[in-house]
Amino acid sequence: MGRLKYATRNIMFGYVGNLVTALLGFAVRTVFIARLGDTLNGVNSLYTDLLSMLSLAELGIGTALNFSLYAPVAKGDTEKIKSYMHLYKQAYRIIAFVIAGIGVALIPFLQYIVKSPDYLTLSQLRLYYVIFLFNTVSTYFVAYKYSLVNAEQKNYIQTNIQSITKMVTVTAQILVLLLTSNFLAYLLTQAAVELIQKIFVSMYLNRKYPYLLEKNVQKLTKEEKNDVVKKTKALMIHKLGDMARLQTDSIIISGFLGVVWVGLINNYKLVINQVSNIVNVVFNSVISSFGNLIATEGKEKQFQLFQVYRFVAIWVYGFSAVGFFLLLSPLIELWLGKDRLLANSILVWVLIDYFLKGERVVLSNFKTAAGVFEQDKYLTLIQGGVNLVISLVLVQRIGMAGVYIGTVVSGLIANISKPIIIYHVCFDKKAGSYFAESLKYIVMIGVSLLVLEPIKAVVISNLNIFTFLLMALIITIVFNAIFFLFFRKAPEFQYVSNLVEEKVGRKIRKFMKK
């Protein structure tokens, strides 16, 4: 099966899985808030973000090893695959214990992190946290096995398993909330289902790759180990910087403004993240295909597909960012009520970060596939420091908006530096054309907003489900029409158009032969 077919299959299954989990996510959040309220919603959101931060203790080992697996998988070198996977297994067991140790060490500080927990006692907060910690730590005893699946460009296997697990978990949690209105039972339900899933995954992947259970594993050469260690060290610094820049917002908001505010912003972020998950299916599903491309093709071919990859990303992220700007607050009002709305001064910074992050997804994914980790390894530490300083100063002066201003400013550093590095290292080109294209994309998005904003004022002056859906349809038509007018002659648009025409034509011809 070729790169395009693998990528297409990954995208298809990814979309189905994310659509199902998105709908279930909205359902469980609705029941959760109705049954347990905003305080526990804030605690649940805070602990989810806090443990996401701890999971970064992986520190790039998985990414480095995934990169190392591309070549032996492409060559069918089973012995080399076994050697890398054995190293991966050892590394992830160490990671699990490191996360557990750091997680336990944070328990005495929960009373300072969770501000204004209302009726919740410190003992309850600690118990809830330990369950979250268990879920995170246990993941690492299975997670390493997915690396081989993904290196084979079969990301859809992981997507399907996670989607089914999410469906079962959320369905069970909704039933528990409706029957008991008990947060502890809600958490224990999730822990039980996910533990069963991890046992099943381990058994399934052992059967799929029985040679991974073999004891006769050759040691990696010194050069191969050094290459993994070198890339891991660079990624470790990247991850630490990302942790300081991306995973501290909830802690700062909870510590300075109160844990309820974490829940309120996470209502918005739930919508954004669910759409991001669907959007990112396209971009994350082709990482392994890019790894294969880089291992087998020349730089000009790589550059051509990078340009197409970026073009599609701007199209999708630009469209979703405009849609969020115009419809996210109306959606929250319809879904949860006016009393859970946040000011536009907060939302605008969250969405600027969303769009800039979309550009970085392209850059980061290509860098990962190409194994370019060293050149900007210290940059993320600078970003993390900038974010913390700006966020801590501004949260005390202008509130939550200040936290996201820090995130945007620190993120811009990567949006400027990463293209320069990638163009130089991967393509032997200067990045001037990249920034010129960025300006064109920003102008197009600005024009779309100028056209759509007055239309919104008229269409949803009386907000209801019908006017909301009508406005969503108008945004879809107007944005894509403007995008088409701007870029219909661009070679990237022609490439995508020809690809779609070819695929549709093949389907029609196949159907006509039946």
Kindly state the DSSP code that residue 77 receives in the 8-state scheme.
-
d(CA 356, CA 445): 13
Is 334 a member of any domain? no
Q: What pTM value is reported for the model?
A: 0.79
Environment class of 45 (CB within 10 Å of its CB; exposed 0-12, middle 13-18, buried 19+): buried
Half-sphere exposure in the Cβ direction for 300 (13 Å, CA): 0
Q: In this structure, are residues 496 and 307 in contact, taking their beta carbons and an 8 Å threshold?
A: no
Kindly state the DSSP code that residue 52 receives in the 8-state scheme.
H
Question: 462 is written with which tokens?
Answer: 């009386």
Q: What is the pLDDT of residue 30?
A: 93
d(CA 509, CA 512): 5
d(CA 348, CA 281): 25
Q: Low-confidence residues of the chain, pLDDT below 70?
A: 1-18, 55-67, 150-156, 158-159, 233-246, 280-298, 368-375, 377, 503-514
Question: 419 is written with which tokens?
Answer: 């293209």
Q: What is the 3-state secondary structure (H, E, C) of 232-290?
A: HHHHHHHHHHHHHHHCCHHHHHHHHHCHHHHHHHHHHHHHHHHHHHHHHHHHHHCHHHH
* Residues contacting residue 507 through CB under 8 Å, at least 6 positions apart: none
Convert the pLDDT of each residue in 159-210 to its tens digit.
677 778 888 898 899 999 999 999 999 999 999 998 998 888 888 888 888 8
Is 318 a member of any domain? no
Environment class of 130 (CB within 10 Å of its CB; exposed 0-12, middle 13-18, buried 19+): middle
Q: 351 is in which domain, residue-wise?
A: 3-296+342-430
Q: What is the pLDDT of residue 41?
A: 94
Q: In this structure, are residues 322 and 466 in contact, taking their beta carbons and an 8 Å threshold?
A: no
Kindly state the DSSP code that residue 490 receives in the 8-state scheme.
S
Q: What is the pLDDT of residue 223?
A: 82
Question: 308 is written with which tokens?
Answer: 């197409």
Count helices and strands in the chain by DSSP H and E runs = 19, 0
d(CA 46, CA 487): 42
Q: In this structure, are residues 405 and 390 in contact, taking their beta carbons and an 8 Å threshold?
A: yes
Q: What is the pLDDT of residue 414?
A: 87
Is 139 a member of any domain? yes
Is 394 a member of any domain? yes
Q: In this structure, are residues 207 and 150 in contact, taking their beta carbons and an 8 Å threshold?
A: no
Write the single-letter amino acid at 157. I
Q: What is the pLDDT of residue 86?
A: 82
Is 244 a member of any domain? yes
Write the single-letter amino acid at 181. S
Half-sphere exposure in the Cβ direction for 80 (13 Å, CA): 15
Is 174 a member of any domain? yes
**How many domains, the chain?**
1
How far, CA to CA in Å, does 224 sit from each of 66, 69, 199, 230?
13, 11, 31, 10
Phi and psi at residue 154, to the nearest 5°: -105, 50
- Specify the 3-state DSSP secondary structure of 461: coil
Is the dihedral angle over the CA atoms 473, 358, 411, 491 positive or is it negative?
negative
* Residues contacting residue 66 through CB under 8 Å, at least 6 positions apart: 147, 150, 151, 288, 291, 368
Look at residues 435, 299, 285 and name the one whose alpha carbon lies nearest to residue 365: 285
- The residue behind tokens 């300072």 is 112
Q: What is the pLDDT of residue 187?
A: 95
Question: 109 is written with which tokens?
Answer: 């500080």
Environment class of 488 (CB within 10 Å of its CB; exposed 0-12, middle 13-18, buried 19+): exposed
Q: What is the pLDDT of residue 277?
A: 74
Q: In this structure, are residues 33 and 336 in contact, taking their beta carbons and an 8 Å threshold?
A: yes
Q: In this structure, are residues 281 and 156 in contact, taking their beta carbons and an 8 Å threshold?
A: no
Is 236 a member of any domain? yes
Is the dihedral angle over the CA atoms 64, 65, 71, 73 positive or is it negative?
negative
d(CA 218, CA 353): 46
d(CA 110, CA 172): 28
d(CA 11, CA 422): 25
Q: What is the 3-state secondary structure (H, E, C) of 176-216?
A: HHHHHCCHHHHHHHHHHHHHHHHHHHHHHHHHHCHHHHCCC
> Residue 433 CA to chain centroid, in angstroms?
27
Q: In this structure, are residues 180 and 102 in contact, taking their beta carbons and an 8 Å threshold?
A: no
d(CA 234, CA 375): 8
Q: Cα 210–216–219 angle (5° rounding)?
A: 115
Is the dihedral angle over the CA atoms 445, 448, 450, 455 positive or is it negative?
negative
